[in-house]
Structure 1
Amino acid sequence: MELSYDTPSVSNSNHVTDEDNFEKVNYAAGKTVLILGASPDQLPLYQVAKRAGAYVIGADANPNSIARPLADQFLLLESRNAEDIIRMLDGRTLHGVVSPGNDSFHETIYDLAKHYDLPNPPSRDAVNASCDKGFFSSRAQEINVLAPTHCTSHDISVLREFAKTRQLPLIVKPADSSGSKGLSFLTALDQLPTAYEKASSVSPTGLVIIEDYLSGEQFGVEAFRVNGRCVLSAVSQRGHTGPPDFLVTQHKVGFTLPELLERELVPTIEHIANALNIQNGPLNFDIIHTSDDRICFIEMGARLSGNGFPALVRETYGVDTQDWVLRLSLGMKIDVPGDFLRSKSYGIQQVLKAPKTGNLKKIIGLERIKEHPACKQVTLFVGPGDEVRTFERTVDRLGVVLLVHEDKMLLEQGLAFVESELSFEIEDTCQCEEAGVMKLEC
């Protein structure tokens, strides 16, 4: 069955123009953009690019990717190697290449930008910091920014010796993979072999990092730099599943932040961006406000965030960072406000999860949710008849609900309404051992 979703409404007050002041629609007509990845995290950029009139080439290893129907041409990728992609493009001219919500393609974008002489190519340090969590933490410490003490290696014995010197618990994860894929919460040293295998199995290169676990409140940061100036730093209070996986379940924007973040976060982001030679484009960070009132930078990506965070920024700040990214990739100017952007309303992006694994039969309460005054958008990644799984990986999300309102009480009422009224009717499945497939239980 074809996946269903609602097309996001775009309400951005800060549009961009080139020197000829072209129209806001069809500004990318005649341009070809390659979007690496076609999952829910890349879907909004496909929609923005199509609305802008670009010829869109999508690329993903999954032939059933949710964004594939929006692509004018689709590359079924078996490789992240730029040379392989260039061969697949077979001489077609590219004007831009992007991959929001995904760290897997930073190196590919770097190589493609050089080959096609594309505008606003990423710096070498930005790629390294995005692709290697150990590189970022080490570089942060070099410039006096707090980051976890860590060890990165392909060799489990090296990681074990490091772990013996540190206080438990520790975090083990792939050093070069995004999201919470392959993450383990290590509470005993005898758990390391299992954690190592879990992390290395989802790392493109088998590189594993082990680092100190710092307790505190988790935040996500979506920043944007234009001409060497940070014009936006949207900070999200994160809901998550906690140990051992720390999967993101919620973003909250516009709420009161700790005074330390209000005072020191943006100057520190500017410091990091300068050190990594990031003059233009998005940056996202995972940070912790520690129990002893410090800001610890866990990891970063020189890209837009996933989990629907850009949509939340669009509705609360009034700017479309997906549109900004597309324009930068095509070498077009961004007309940014003179003042630093502040949130104009409260917003919550809520992840929808299945209560159990099975086949989705019915979605209950969807229309009632859409009628709530705080509901801005419901995006579904599945539909009736699809197999769904309990929330053990980011890809297990059923969808997201975007709630935004200037009245905080009404917003929180909307969240309670989603939690009480929206449900998923799921038929049980059983494992058919002889056939090795899932089938409906009789």
Structure 2
Amino acid sequence: MKKLMILGGSSFIVPVIEKAHELGCHVITCDYLPDNIAHKYSDEYCNVSVIDKEAVLEAARKHKIDGIISFACDPGVVSAAYTAEKMGLPFQGPYESVRILQDKGLFRKFLTDNGFNCPHAKSYDDKKAPFDDIDFFDWPVIVKPVDSAGSKGVTRVDDPAKLSEAIEIALDASHNGRFIIEDFLTFKGSHSGGDFFTIDGKIVFGALEDQLFDKNSSNPYTPAMLIWPTSMDKEDDKALHEELQRLMYALNMKTGIYNIEGCIGADGKPYIMEVSPRGGGCRMAEIQHMAYGENADLIGNEIRMAVGLPLTKIEEGKCDGYWVQFDIHSHTECDRVLKSLRIEPTIEKKYVKYSMIIAKPGDIVKPFTGANMTLGDVFMRFDTREEIAEVMSRSEEWVLLDYED
């Protein structure tokens, strides 16, 4: 029986564990939070910090694992790559390449040095240093940790006088005490992303989605809704894919899943914003499997890659209609106690194909400052983009969210 180690313990990896069990794997989950829900589904649990790569390696050797992944767990990706390389196990790419992808400062430098389009960007560990670079940036700017995901710690700054506050917010969400400042990029159409899959570095599945943001949330830069297929025109889609493919080859990437973010700038150029060798949160790979069919089983093939099993056929194919992944979230500006949460039955019956409500009555609901503040996810299928616009524009009417007084 193959032993698979999964770093992280959130609800997003429960379907990964279930798929691994279907494939006959023994699953070991790891993080420092023993009460996380995923550990109830795995065969074993290791209490080890996913950012401590030496501790992860020690645990992996102790359990004599056959493969390791960090699915929907951004902080664990570097440790997973390090462990895989030390143990001679498969992974998406070399440890040094993964380290570049997982550090926004290193990644922006790599993009710039290798001729990719990139906004002005600098990373820092000194809170005072950016004030010597005010004229380097084209304001407004975005301030964020170099090593976080899910839009945690991200702030737009229009006035240098407010830069200090944004730096503190970024550092509060950072693991390594570093932050990055970069030009705020205005894009054409929608910001895009998706979970991709490569075989020997070649992108074999690359379905982009549109990312939509909730301007009324506490963090308007956290994606609140994803729509497949993308509305990006074919030429722009091709240009962005060509840059992503060039990046994969430049970093000597191999086989596996990636969470991608990119856009076409207002200047008409393709920009790669994020590439992380892991499955995305919000159950992205699952909805893509539902939307694109049986040859889009990215989760199953990620597991197969990790433990050395043969891959099944992977191809993008055609999207069956229009699909929406919607993050249920609050518009509260302060902590509230949840009384009840449900979807209006008519909407649920007609459009919802899958739902996962993780918030329970009595839970503390916090402002929507990042993807980790999601109350649940719903997958919805529509026949047209116009139908999406009409239904989703009134989501507050059918997401029935009540709080205690």
TM-score, structure 2 normalization: 0.90
Cα deviation, residue 125, structure 1: 4.0
After superposition, residues 48-63 of structure 1 pair within 5 angstroms as: 48-63=19-34
Q: Counterpart in 1 of 2:214?
A: 241
Q: Deviations over 1:114-151 (max 9, x none)?
A: 34321236313431232211222222223322122111
Which of 142, 152, 159 is 1:188 aligned to? 159
Give the residue type in structure 2 aligned to 1:230. I
Which of 56, 70, 78 is 1:107 aligned to? 78
Contact 1:177 1:204 in 2 (8 A): yes
1:123 paired with 2:94, answer: yes
Cα deviation, residue 297, structure 1: 1.6
Contact 2:4 2:67 in 1 (8 A): yes
Which of 130, 137, 143 is 2:108 aligned to? 137
The RMSD of aligned alpha carbons is 2.4
Contact 1:345 1:405 in 2 (8 A): yes
CA distance in 2, matches of 1:412, 1:271: 35
CA distance in 2, matches of 1:222, 1:273: 14
Contact 1:106 1:130 in 2 (8 A): no
Cα deviation, residue 79, structure 1: 5.6
**Worse overlay, 387-396 or 112-121:** 112-121
Q: Counterpart in 2 of 1:149?
A: 120
1:425 paired with 2:402, answer: yes
Q: Counterpart in 2 of 1:31?
A: 2
Q: Counterpart in 2 of 1:179?
A: 150
Cα deviation, residue 317, structure 1: 1.2
1:349 paired with 2:320, answer: no
Question: SS where residue 134 of structure 2 aligns?
Answer: helix
Greater length-normalized contact order (CA 8 Å, ≥ 6 residues apart): 1
1:309 paired with 2:280, answer: no
Percentage identity across aligned positions? Answer: 22
Q: Counterpart in 2 of 1:371?
A: 349
Contact 1:125 1:277 in 2 (8 A): no
TM-score, structure 1 normalization: 0.83
Cα deviation, residue 349, structure 1: 0.4
Q: Deviations over 1:329-362 (max 9, x none)?
A: 111222325x653423311001101243322222
Quick one: structure 1 residues 383 and 178, their matched pair in 2 at CA, closer, same or farther if it must change by over 3 Å? same
Cα deviation, residue 105, structure 1: 1.4
After superposition, residues 3-22 of structure 1 pair within 5 angstroms as: none
Question: SS where residue 192 of structure 1 aligns?
Answer: helix
1:165 paired with 2:153, answer: no
1:387 paired with 2:360, answer: no
Give the residue type in structure 1 aligned to 2:272. F
Contact 1:172 1:183 in 2 (8 A): yes
Cα deviation, residue 90, structure 1: 7.4
Q: Counterpart in 2 of 1:291?
A: 266
Which of 62, 78, 95 is 1:91 aligned to? 62
Q: Deviations over 1:220-252 (max 9, x none)?
A: 132211133211111111111359650110000
Contact 1:255 1:346 in 2 (8 A): no
Give the residue type in structure 1 aligned to 2:129. V
Give the residue type in structure 2 aligned to 1:56. V
Cα deviation, residue 82, structure 1: 3.0
**Worse overlay, 204-213 or 349-358:** 349-358
Cα deviation, residue 88, structure 1: 4.5
**Worse overlay, 211-220 or 255-264:** 255-264
Q: Counterpart in 2 of 1:403?
A: 380
Give the residue type in structure 2 aligned to 1:144. G
Contact 2:329 2:374 in 1 (8 A): yes
CA distance in 1, matches of 2:279, 2:310: 18
Q: Counterpart in 2 of 1:199?
A: 170
Which of 197, 208, 224 is 1:224 aligned to? 197
Structure 2: runs of 5 or more not aligned: none
**Worse overlay, 90-99 or 358-367:** 358-367
1:68 paired with 2:34, answer: no
Quick one: structure 1 residues 241 and 129, their matched pair in 2 at CA, closer, same or farther if it must change by over 3 Å? farther
CA distance in 1, matches of 2:279, 2:50: 22
Cα deviation, residue 185, structure 1: 0.9
CA distance in 2, matches of 1:397, 1:172: 22
CA distance in 1, matches of 2:384, 2:124: 49
Contact 1:50 1:70 in 2 (8 A): no
Question: SS where residue 207 of structure 2 aligns?
Answer: strand
Q: Counterpart in 1 of 2:297?
A: 320
Q: Counterpart in 1 of 2:51?
A: 80
Question: SS where residue 234 of structure 1 aligns?
Answer: coil
Quick one: structure 1 residues 241 and 364, their matched pair in 2 at CA, closer, same or farther if it must change by over 3 Å? closer
Contact 1:113 1:121 in 2 (8 A): no
1:254 paired with 2:229, answer: yes
CA distance in 1, matches of 2:387, 2:184: 36
Cα deviation, residue 401, structure 1: 0.7
Quick one: structure 1 residues 368 and 385, their matched pair in 2 at CA, closer, same or farther if it must change by over 3 Å? farther
Q: Which entry has the higher C-alpha Rg, 1 or 2?
A: 1
Cα deviation, residue 371, structure 1: 1.8
Give the residue type in structure 2 aligned to 1:235. L
Cα deviation, residue 299, structure 1: 2.2
Contact 1:146 1:296 in 2 (8 A): yes
CA distance in 2, matches of 1:333, 1:396: 37
CA distance in 2, matches of 1:376, 1:93: 39
CA distance in 1, matches of 2:191, 2:230: 14
Aligned residue pairs, count:
397
CA distance in 2, matches of 1:190, 1:160: 10
